[in-house]
Amino acid sequence: MERIAELTILTDTDKEACELPRVSVDELAVNKKRLYIESYGCQMNFSDSEIVAAVMRNAGFATTSTAEEADVIFLNTCAIRENAEQKVRNRLKQLTVLKKRKPELLVGMLGCMAERLKTNLLEEEKIVDIVAGPDAYRDIPKLVEEAESGQKAVNVFLSREETYADISPIRLNSNGITAFISIMRGCDNMCSFCVVPFTRGRERSRDAHSIVREAQDLFDNGYKEVTLLGQNVDSYKWANESGTETVNFAQLLERVALIHPDLRIRFSTSHPKDITDEVLHTMAQYDNICNYIHLPAQSGNSRVLKLMNRTYDREWYIHKVDRIRAILGEDCGLSHDMIAGFCSETEEEHQDTLSLMEYAKYDYGYMFAYSERPGTLAAKKYADDIPHEVKMRRLNEIISLQQKLSLERNKRHIGQVQRVLIENTSKRSEDFLSGRNDQNKVVVFPKGNLKKGQYANVLVTDCTPATLIGEAID
């Protein structure tokens, strides 16, 4: 995502907005039916859409980037907050116009909102023909056939095994340089505010060999960066059938890092309770594992963290930050997720969140107002009792502080030379390139003779809270 002169700090409403709508690339589609996919929510969903595109290609569908051209439209949905679902419902309203014009058009709901609402979706949203949960994507061609014959088609079965390990994703909207690789699915953590364990099911890790193969394949095809994805990557654990080979996350990182020094590795998301010194040491050992950790805190107060069922307290989190700084240095990029106004949070407890942010000196963050999700532990046990205005005021205080911290952290780079992987032409100007440094910060600089996919050494001369600005010195 290009972020020059934009806020790095994504709020409750604009995190999804920034990622949206993302559509698939056009393919040559002679005599083929056409599929249009739009993805919402987290990177896992964007990665899943690439699996769905692969499954549909096998069933004879080409992808299109134009909804108007499509025979089938899929919305790969998110349920994390109320407004994420509202966005999808608004989009369905727009699609109703298309469907009126072309009654044979099929509309499918995939992903987390589909899983949460199941067949209710068919009653609530008349336009929907197909409902498929995150573990049902192999079944999609069959569901499409059913829908073509005029029946509504639903599969929301959650699996304990499915990892789509053998499916080669079709890279959608790719810059040809960076790609996501899903290494695990589901989540066993049961944070009390979170709908993900209900929408994505039990945690399972993907075959390590298939992950390394996918990364190797990407590198052979010119990609220079892979991001290993999971809700909680640090609990990755895979064993072969006989149990003679086991791979944990640190070992997986190492295997991918060994593919080639020019292949960068990132990963997301780390859970503070699970990130180990072994992972930090592996990061320190390999230059191509990026020096950046996304370590969601959710709150800086131990009582609130307990209510959230995060299984660590403020001191534990601070200890993890200290280990990161000790092993990976002060410059290691660090970002967070934070929730403002969780059930019963007092003003003092909110202040603890702000003081934790000052302590951790985060480079950036994703910040949200608490949104009660039906069926979660918090919805059952605690009252959503912080008034909307108070939540928003606390959220704004968190965002302002993060702006200040981001600017301070970015200023540290002024005068330094940063190794930048060039990802794109800057959206603001054809004469500028944009890429990211080791710490995941967007760096923008004049093009010169450089090209997408190359590494450049950039002297940083200026910055905003969102972007480093400089010039290539080679």
Looking at 30-38, 193-201, 271-279, 316-324, which segment touches ligand F3S (CB under 6 A)? 193-201
**What tokens were used for 394?**
């606390």
DSSP secondary structure, 413-427, as one string: TTT-EEEEEEEEE-S
41 binds ligand F3S (CB under 6 A): yes
Task: Report what 373 binds from ligand SAH, ligand F3S, ligand SF4, none; CB cut-off 5-8 Å by kind.
Answer: ligand SAH
Query: x/- binding map, residues 213-242, to ligand SF4, per CB under 6 A?
Result: ------------------xx----------
110 binds ligand F3S (CB under 6 A): no
Task: Write the CA distances from 372 to 231, 338, 340, 456, integer angstroms.
Answer: 20, 15, 12, 45
271 binds ligand SF4 (CB under 6 A): yes
Distance CA 3, CA 21 (A): 16
399 binds ligand F3S (CB under 6 A): no
CB atoms within 10 A of CB 425: 16
Distance CA 87, CA 67 (A): 17
Closest distance of CB 352 from ligand SF4, Å: 19
Select from 11, 227, 298, 353 the one that contacts ligand SAH (CB under 6 A). Answer: 298
- Residue closer to ligand F3S by CB (options 111, 341) is 111
Task: Write the CA distances from 115 to 46, 129, 136, 264, 416, integer angstroms.
Answer: 16, 15, 10, 34, 47
Select from 20, 112, 279, 308 the one that contacts ligand F3S (CB under 6 A). Answer: 112
Helix segments in 221-328, DSSP class H: 249-257, 277-285, 302-307, 314-328
194 binds ligand SF4 (CB under 6 A): yes
Closest distance of CB 151 from ligand SF4, Å: 33
Exposure b/e, 19-52, CB count within 10 A at least 16 = b? bbebbbeebeeeeebbbbbbbbbbbbbbbbbbbb
Number of residues that bind ligand SAH (CB under 6 A): 17
CB 312 within 8 A of CB 298: no
Three-point CA angle 450, 456, 459, nearest 5°:
115
Looking at 40-48, 308-316, 419-427, 447-455, which segment touches ligand F3S (CB under 6 A)? 40-48
Select from 53, 79, 122, 343 the one that contacts ligand F3S (CB under 6 A). Answer: 79
- Residue closer to ligand F3S by CB (options 78, 360) is 78
- Residues with Cβ within 8 Å of 202's Cβ and at least 6 positions away in sequence, in order, are 158, 160, 186, 188
Distance CA 174, CA 280 (A): 30
Query: x/- binding map, residues 194-223, to ligand SAH, per CB under 6 A?
Result: x-x---------------------------
Select from 51, 196, 229, 421 the one that contacts ligand SF4 (CB under 6 A). Answer: 196
Strand 467-472 relative to strand 246-248, pairing:
unpaired
Looking at 182-190, 204-212, 235-243, 322-330, which segment touches ligand SF4 (CB under 6 A)? 182-190
Closest distance of CB 1 from ligand SAH, Å: 16
Query: x/- binding map, residues 318-347, to ligand SAH, per CB under 6 A?
Result: -------------------x-x--------
294 binds ligand SF4 (CB under 6 A): no
Residue nearest to ligand F3S (CB): 41
Cis peptide before 446 (omega within 30 of 0): no
H or E, element range at 184:
strand 184-185
Three-point CA angle 394, 400, 404, nearest 5°:
145
- Residue closer to ligand SAH by CB (options 3, 373) is 373
Closest distance of CB 61 from ligand F3S, Å: 23
CB 443 within 8 A of CB 436: yes
Select from 98, 118, 116, 119 the least CA-distant residue to 107: 98
DSSP single-letter state for residue 261: T
Closest distance of CB 138 from ligand F3S, Å: 19
- Residue closer to ligand SAH by CB (options 16, 162) is 16
192 binds ligand SAH (CB under 6 A): no
**If DSSP codes are grouped into helix, strand and coil, which group holds residue 271?**
coil
Residues that bind ligand SF4 (CB under 6 A): 187, 189-191, 194, 196-197, 231-232, 271
Residues that bind ligand SAH (CB under 6 A): 80-81, 193-194, 196, 231-232, 269, 271, 296, 298, 337, 339, 368, 370-371, 373
